[in-house]
Chain A
């Protein structure tokens, strides 16, 4: 079991470029999440998918889009990157959603210049 995997691990973008962060889980979990982590601010939820076929906005969705490709995969897209999107991005998954443990990937460190 690999758990939650994310690619890439590191990325540098120029302002205005686009990219997609990939996330996959092999635990047959229903729910998946994207967070960003910034110093002194903890983790903030960008988008989540409670189950396959549904996605919902979290706390900071502006500038991002997501796709729940299938039960395993949940991608995060930056259409036009901005320096304010420099952050560490974490994907997570959980089994039942409410009240169940979230398992985190190792993170993607993104720098936008």
Chain B
């Protein structure tokens, strides 16, 4: 949706870190999410962050939240070929999620 913006493409070398950025508009969002979509499949939740946090780490994933700038990022350490997918940022608004257009991450050898 237009309330959540992401860059459309990211190419990264295997073993490097990937950083996917997202901006959102709804300052009342309580949770912000990162979903992953592999080819031909539905979306799968990767991680989420509560709006009163500024960082969350989960194994190779680090989420940073700058609430003042309404900026969210997802860092994937040691990117592998299995990380090639579309990554969606989403903000929650009551019962609904608003998704960004998705960032296609391509991992090259």
Give the B-binding residues of A (Cβ under 8 A): 4, 31, 33, 35, 40-45, 48, 50, 58-59, 90, 92, 94, 97-99, 101-107
Contact = CB atoms under 8 A, between A and B. Distances in A.
Contacts of A41: 101
Contacts of B44: 104
Complex A-B, nearest 3 residue pairs according to Cβ-Cβ distance, in ascending order: A104-B42, A97-B95, A42-B101
Given A42-B102, A99-B31, A101-B48, A50 B43 contact: no
A106 B48 CA distance: 21
Given A98-B95, A99-B30, A105 B42 contact: yes
- The secondary structure that dominates the B interface is strand
A98 B1 contact: no
Contact of A43 (B8, B31, B88, B95): B88
A99 B100 CA distance: 17
Contacts of B1: 42, 44, 59
B101 A40 contact: yes
B35 to A, nearest CB: 8
